[in-house]
């Protein structure tokens, strides 16, 4: 009896070391890569496994593939427009792996998004370079319709490339980031706008001064006044305003008892 229990214990312990349990959650599938220790066939099992529990030999590798959408970010730098202005921008590509094709992905493309770096990134960059070269910088920078047209063309091109290369993934969307010109061009544009504002301000000031002078001249003619008389009248108006302001200040400085607070600085 004792020997029997020992044998059972050895079998159980051996089973625990040899077999492993893996859970595949919703929105995932698993691919088993067989790696036997001593004998048996090696390789990737043809059918991927959907939601559930997997029992496998410990030596085997189990790859879990998410079937949820994911984003790959890419940067494009120094792409020249038709008027030879270099621009930079980021592009986001939203993908989703095809259900039931995890084994094909692992066997032919290695998983881990290596397929994008090896097969998609360079053709994408080349296509974007050609598209940007057709556009004038100002149109590209300010006209969203042009960016949308480029997006449509690139979306179609990348989907066609994925189909031809038989990559088991769907391209859902492409998002093109803000076009960024070189720092020198941005600074130059800011200087131009500042200069325009300065010129406009001076122009408005001149027009205001001209309008005021014309109004003064018309008043002098209407009242049959000489320039000297008109200047004297303006001085009187100015003195009257000053006097009114002083009287206003005195009235508002009074306390409720009618006294006025006067601060006298005697110096030191």
Cα–Cα dist 111/131, whole Å? 30
pLDDT of residue 232: 76
Paired residues of 170 in beta bridges: 96
Q: Supply the pTM of this predicted model.
A: 0.61
Residue 188 CA from chain centroid, whole number: 23
pLDDT of residue 240: 75
- pLDDT tens for 102-144 read 889 988 988 778 899 999 999 999 999 999 999 999 899 889 9
pLDDT averaged over 10-residue windows placed end to end, the chain, 268 residues:
50 48 80 64 72 63 87 93 92 94 88 89 95 93 92 95 95 92 68 68 71 75 76 75 68 54 45
- pLDDT tens for 135-178 read 999 899 889 999 999 999 999 999 999 999 999 999 999 999 98
Q: Could you tell me if 22 and 62 are in contact, meaning their C-beta atoms sit under 8 angstroms apart?
A: yes
């Amino acid at each position: 009896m004792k020997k029997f229990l020992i044998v059972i214990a050895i079998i159980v312990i051996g089973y625990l070391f040899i077999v492993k349990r893996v859970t595949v959650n919703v929105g995932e599938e698993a691919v088993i890569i067989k790696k036997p220790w001593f004998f048996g066939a090696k390789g990737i099992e043809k059918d991927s496994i959907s939601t559930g529990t997997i029992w496998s030999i410990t030596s085997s590798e189990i790859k879990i593939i998410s079937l949820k959408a994911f984003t790959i970010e890419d940067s494009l730098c120094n792409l020249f427009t038709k008027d030879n202005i270099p621009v930079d921008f980021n592009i986001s590509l939203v993908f989703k792996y095809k259900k039931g094709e995890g084994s094909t992905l692992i066997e032919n493309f290695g998983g881990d998004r290596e397929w994008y770096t090896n097969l998609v990134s360079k053709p994408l960059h080349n296509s974007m370079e050609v598209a940007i070269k057709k556009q004038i910088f100002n149109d590209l920078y300010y006209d969203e319709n042009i960016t949308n047209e480029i997006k449509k063309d690139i979306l179609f091109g990348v989907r066609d490339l994925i189909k031809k290369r038989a990559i088991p993934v769907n391209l859902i969307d492409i998002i093109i980031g803000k076009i960024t010109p070189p720092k020198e061009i941005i600074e130059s544009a800011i200087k131009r706008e500042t200069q325009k504002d300065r010129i406009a301000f001076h122009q408005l000031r001149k027009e205001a001064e001209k309008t005021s002078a014309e109004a003064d001249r018309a008043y002098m003619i209407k009242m049959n006044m000489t320039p000297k008389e008109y200047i004297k009248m303006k001085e009187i108006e100015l003195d009257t305003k000053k006097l009114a302001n002083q009287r206003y200040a005195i009235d508002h400085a009074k306390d409720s008892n009618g006294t006025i607070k006067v601060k006298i600085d005697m110096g030191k």
